[in-house]
Amino acid sequence: MLREYHRRKAWIVLAALMIFLPGAAQAQQKIRVATLYIGSSMLPLWIAKEEGEFARRGLDVELIWLQSTLSTFALVASEVDLIFGTPQETLLAMNVANPPPLVTVGSWESNSKHWLMVAPSIQSPKDLIGKSLATSRPKAADEGYARIILKRYGVDSTKVAFISAGGQRDRAGALRSGTVQGSVFNTYNSLALEEAGYKKLALLETPQFPFPPATYTTRKDFVIQKREPLKAFMAAVTDTTRKHNQDRETGLRLLKKYMKISNPKVLEAAYQDGVINQYPYMTREQMNASLDILEASTGVRPKITFEQFVDHSLLQEAKLQQERRN
């Protein structure tokens, strides 16, 4: 009994030391990030988790895959701290009389390209009149991509049927089964379809039309309440973006792990697709491209200014802190 008493007393003393001694271990700050998709542009996030960059900065980061609308609802309801993905849903959510307090705090533009892939029988965009194209869901961003491409080639998109089929793998399945005659895919999914005999009909991106970046969006009140952990998060993904762009082997390994890609050509295309070529600040041109896609997919163009939508102060403060450390 006496021995048990001393053992318990020792544990109490140790616990007190852990709380009060300088440098004692402290709980990590939890950051919940909703991601709109699982794709190669997530490599900086995966690297930061796998390489311990978040943990070194005192963060416990949880990545939660949610569809676009669900992620925005979750952020508005304070169920997540950040959403990562194309900004159309955020812009649409703010197109109301009393918009939710959302703000974009960073922007990551990858090397991604998007092709309208079609069945071998389709020879030109005009052949799609009266045919069906797959989209992830009604009025999604990828529907906007298709409508923009069709308009470029003089095709009235109201004469094309749009069928909801899910993510890119599901849309590829719909194309392979003949349920639809085409859909818009990123580089590596386009390559996999091309190797199976499907056709690259048209490219979305042009010098005049840059693809909108993936953005990090949070609540304005979180920017105040969770400023330090959010700054640490943005600093971590900025640092691991540099590593991703320089460390091909790590990128390929994580793409194999998270995306289950086995085809070497498709794996390399996925890596190149995810290389980040502009970050961490969003530009006015990128916001305009986001609004163009939103208008094409929904018919709505929110009257939101760049200053209402973007706040770069977290990044700027994180940069100053890093410079002081160096």
pLDDT score for 325: 74
pLDDT score for 25: 44
Q: How confident is the model at residue 4 (pLDDT cuts 50, 70, 90)?
A: very low
Q: Which two tokens stand for residue 265?
A: 């050509």
The helices-and-strands tally (H runs, E runs) of the chain is: 15, 11
DSSP per position, 76-120: HTTS-SEEEE-THHHHHHT-SSS---EEEEEEEEES--EEEEE-T
Does the pLDDT of residue 26 top 70, yes or no?
no
To the nearest whole number, what is the mean pLDDT of the chain? 89
Q: How confident is the model at residue 245 (pLDDT cuts 50, 70, 90)?
A: confident
pLDDT score for 219: 96
pLDDT score for 8: 46
Does the pLDDT of residue 2 top 80, yes or no?
no
pLDDT over 90 for what percent of the chain? Answer: 73
Q: Can you list the alpha helix ranges (DSSP code H) found in 153-283?
A: 168-177, 187-195, 220-225, 227-246, 248-259, 264-274
CA distances from 172 to 92, 167, 222, 267 (A): 27, 9, 38, 17
pLDDT score for 324: 80
pLDDT score for 148: 95
For the segment 52-81, what is each residue's pLDDT rounded down to a tens digit? 999 999 999 999 998 778 899 999 999 999
Phi/psi at 57 (nearest 5 deg)? -95, 15
Amino acid at 221: D
User: How many C-beta atoms surround the C-beta of residue 156 within 10 A?
Assistant: 11
Does the pLDDT of residue 41 top 70, yes or no?
yes
Q: Which domains does the chain have, with CATH numbers?
A: 29-111+212-325 (3.40.190.10), 114-203 (3.40.190.10)
Round to whole Å and give the CA distance between 145 and 140: 9
More confident residue, 70 or 325: 70
Q: How confident is the model at residue 233 (pLDDT cuts 50, 70, 90)?
A: very high
pLDDT score for 22: 41
pLDDT score for 188: 94
Read off the pTM.
0.84
CA distances from 71 to 64, 65, 76, 102, 196 (A): 9, 8, 9, 12, 33
